[in-house]
Amino acid sequence: MSDLSHRALTSQLAEDLGWLEEHSRRRGYASSAGAQAEAAQQASELRLAAALVRNCLGPTLNGQGPIPLHVAVIGGAGAGKSTVANLLSGAQAAETNPQAGFTRHPIVYTPAGGPLPWTGHLGFLGPLQRAPQESPASLDADVYQVRRVPHDETSHDLLKDCVIWDCPDMTTWAAAGAGPPVAIPLSGPRPAPPVLVPGYITRLLEVAALADILVYVASDERYNDEIPTQFLHTLLLTNKPVVCVVTKMREADAEPLVKHFKGEVVKNLPPGIVEVLPIPFLNAEQLADPARRAMKWRIPLLNQIGVLAQNPPEARRRTLRGAL
C-alpha cells in the first residue's frame, strides 16, 4: 500500500472517530446529569482514540522508526511536572513556577546537536503547530515547542533514545472541548467535519497518545484529586506503562505517603502502573542542578524509565498494541 493510501486511511479513521466524539458530546447535552458524565467520558476516550490513530498508527504505517521514544510527564495543576521533567532531562530546562497550571502547551526536551527525527510524522500532534521560536511555557496557544538540552553525562545514557515532554495540566480536561449543541442529521450529507476545539485537552491528549511511556506526577496535597485520577484511568486503558511520582512531601514522609498512594489510588486503577516513586521537596541547589544535586531521587526514576526504554523496537510495538 502506498504512503498516500496510508495517509488517506488514517486521516479518514481519525476523522470518523472525531465524528463519534462530537456525536457523543452533543448527545450528552440533552441527557440527565449522570448520562452527561458518561457521554463526556466516552467523548474523551474517542478523542484519545483519534489521537492514537494520528500519532501511533499513522506514523508507523508511514515507515517511521521507533526512535525517539516519547516520555510524557503528565499530572494535575501544581503537581511539580516541570520539576520532574528537569530531573529526567538532567538540566534546569523546564520553567518551574509556584503558579499552578503555569505550563500551557507541550514542550519537548531533546539532546542538543541532533536532528529532529519525527518532523515527517503523519498527522504529528494533530492541530498543534510547532512554535517558530522559543516562547514562555505560559504561552496559551495550540502549539508545541522544542527545546534542546546539553548531553547529560550523569544519566549513563539511560534515556539516550528518548525525548521528554512537559505537558499542560489535566485538571481542566473534563470541561474542555465542549461547545453548544448542534443538531446532527440522521441522513443525507454530512455537515462540515468537526474541528478539534483548542485548549488543554487537545494539547494534552495528543502528546499522551504519542507517548511510549507516561510519568504521572501527583503532589502530596492533591494526589487523589478526582479529575487527574480519572484521566489517568483513561490513559491506562491504552496499556501504556506508567511510572507514578508523588511529590512535595517531607523526606521523612516519603515512604508512608507512597504506601498510602498505592493503597488509595493505584489499587482502584487498571493495570499498567509500573512503580510509585517519591520526590520530596527539593532545595534551591537541587532545583538548579538536578543532574548532580538531586541524584538520590533522580536515579531511581531514570532506572525505571531506562528499563522501559532499553529496547526501543519492543517499546514501540507495546505502544502500537495498546493503541490497537
Average pLDDT, consecutive stretches of 10 residues, N- to C-terminus, the chain (324 residues): 63 72 66 65 80 86 86 91 93 79 88 68 79 88 90 80 90 44 39 48 89 93 79 90 95 94 92 93 93 94 94 94 87
The answer as to whether 285 is a domain residue is: yes
**CB 148 within 8 Å of CB 111:** yes
Residue 74's domain comprises: 66-323
| Residue-level pLDDT at 72 | 96
Burial of 108 (0-12, 13-18, 19+ CB in 10 A): buried
Residue type, 291: A
259 vs 241: CA distance, rounded Å? 20
Backbone Cα Rg of the chain: 19
DSSP H helical segments within 30-105, as ranges? 33-52, 58-61, 81-89
Q: Are 28 and 35 in contact (CB under 8 A)?
A: yes
* DSSP secondary structure letters along 149-209: E---GGGTTTTTTEEEEE---STTTTTTT--------SSSS--SPP-PPPSHHHHHHHHHH
47 lies in a domain?
no
Q: Tell whether 42 is covered by a domain.
A: no
The answer to whether residue 236 sits within a structural domain is yes
Beta carbons within 8 Å of 315's beta carbon, 6+ residues apart: 66, 69, 212, 213, 308, 309
Q: Is residue 308 part of a domain?
A: yes
What is the reported pLDDT for 302?
Answer: 95
Is 12 strand, coil or helix? helix
Q: What is the CATH number of the domain that holds 304?
A: 3.40.50.300
Residue 6 lies in a domain: no
Q: In this structure, is residue 133 part of a structural domain? A: yes
Report the candidate in 126, 129, 141, 143 with the shortest Cα–Cα distance to residue 52.
126
| Count of structural domains within the chain | 1
Amino acid at 233: H
**Four-point Cα dihedral 233, 234, 235, 240, nearest 10:** 80
- Residue 38 grid cell: 458518561
**Which residues face 213 on adjacent strands?**
71
Instruction: Look at residue 23 in the predicted model and tell me its pLDDT.
Output: 67
Other Cβ atoms closer than 10 A to 163: 22
Q: What is the pLDDT of residue 231?
A: 85
Residue carrying the nine cell digits 491506562: 236
Burial class (CB in 10 A: 0-12, 13-18, 19+), 61: middle
Stated pTM of the model? 0.86
Query: Is residue 289 one of the residues assigned to a domain?
Result: yes
Amino acid found at 274: V
